Structure 1
Amino acid sequence: MGKKRGMMSESLKTTLAKDLGFYDTVQQEGWGSISANDAGNMVKRAVEIAKQNLK
């Protein structure tokens, strides 16, 4: 199997983490340290942005 690729760009993830208030955690401990709740909120926000861009 091939290497897993993320669906979101690093830039988008960073922007969302800053907007949602947990970017400090990401900077200090990496993406693996965010909670499942924070990851879910990132996905929800990304979907909202995508829907807005389709209109």
Structure 2
Amino acid sequence: MGRRRSVMSDQLKEEIAKELGIYDTVQQEGWGGIKSRDAGNMVKQAIQMAERQLEQNQHGRS
């Protein structure tokens, strides 16, 4: 089975990892070194960011 293409850019993942305080782990161990909970929190943060962006875009069009 091949690798799946990443949905989030590396820049976005790094930004979120820094916000969550897990970027040091990523630098030392790679993305495989983070805990499942941290990965879930990264996804949650990305969804919240996307929702805020959609909300801003919708208000800008009204």
- TM-score, normalising length: structure 2: 0.83
Report how many residues are paired. 55
| CA RMSD, 1 decimal | 1.2
Q: Deviations over 1:9-46 (max 9, x none)?
A: 00000000000000000000100110000000000000
Structure exhibiting the larger radius of gyration computed from Cα positions: 2
Task: Return structure 1 stretches of 4+ with deviation > 6 angstroms.
Answer: none
Q: Please, which runs of 5 or more residues in structure 2 have no aligned partner?
A: 56-62
Give the letter for the 2:15 counterpart: T
* Alpha-carbon distance between aligned partners in 2 of 1:42 and 1:16, rounded to the nearest angstrom: 6
Aligned to 2:25: 25
